Amino acid sequence: LLLREPMLARAAVKFARGVFCPNDGTGDAARYTAAALEQAVQRGVRAHFGERVRGFDVIGKAISGVKTDKGHYKADAVVVAAGLSSRQLLASLGDSLPIFPVTGYSISYRGERAARPSVGAVSIPHKIAWAAFGEETVRFTGFADIGVPGPAKIAARFRALEAFAHDVYPEIRGDAPAKWVGQRPMTPDNLPFLGASRHANLWLNCGHGAMGWTMACGSARIVSDLVLGREPAIDLEPFRWDRYGLLGRRGRAVASDRIAVT
């Protein structure tokens, strides 16, 4: 373990064993997203920021346009990929998708140091992960609180993160980290809503929980294929928008069968 991560030799937390995943990796999702957007703009994409979607124009079973607080856009196809806000947007169309907030936290220490993490890692008992981003940033992240906690809970989580960070990475003691708290868009079965919706040209790419960036490229490829009329690379049945309704009916049928047998 220490050969893979020499930084742990100075840690106050002593790990008995670990699992090394050579194909795993870490990265800065914000930097990646900014670079991807830059590439998209160079290819002709027009990005509109500071604009809030107010609703959709519907003709029959199709979406004909998107209304915002600054304008109106006609559309041949619409993709809803708005994280937690996807639920509110789709509710305006009469759909109810179970996407719920689960709060997570991170602290980031910036500055050059002699020693830094060489691999991304996670401590399962502590529910905390850490990784180095570039040469100057080390981030610790963790926890999962259902809903949106109050200030006392948030403060306690950050204290726990900082205490663990000091124990694992003593080099950052005395440094003040940048703090972040946000809500993961979770579904009850931990699978996203991906693919078709109730409307003919409205596509879903939401509810990815804590795995949004991990699933981003694959999900985008699937939605792109669907918009262009191509066969997606995977079976999308587990990611259907109406799967909870189907499971509910199935559950009642099973219960009825059991009563009959009894």
Instruction: Evaluate if residue 248 carries a pLDDT over 80.
Output: no
| Residue extents of the structural domains in the chain | 6-24+100-186, 48-99+189-251
| Each residue's pLDDT tens digit, 56-65 | 999 999 999 9
Among 22-31, 115-124, 189-198, name the most confident range. Answer: 189-198
Q: Tell me what the pLDDT averaged over the chain comes to.
A: 89
pLDDT at 123 over 60: yes
CATH architecture of 48-99+189-251: 3-Layer(bba) Sandwich (3.50)
CA 3 to CA 212: how far, in whole Å? 31
Tens digits of per-residue pLDDT, 144-171? 999 999 999 999 999 999 999 999 999 8
In the structure, what pLDDT confidence band is assigned to residue 232 with cuts at 50, 70 and 90?
Answer: very high
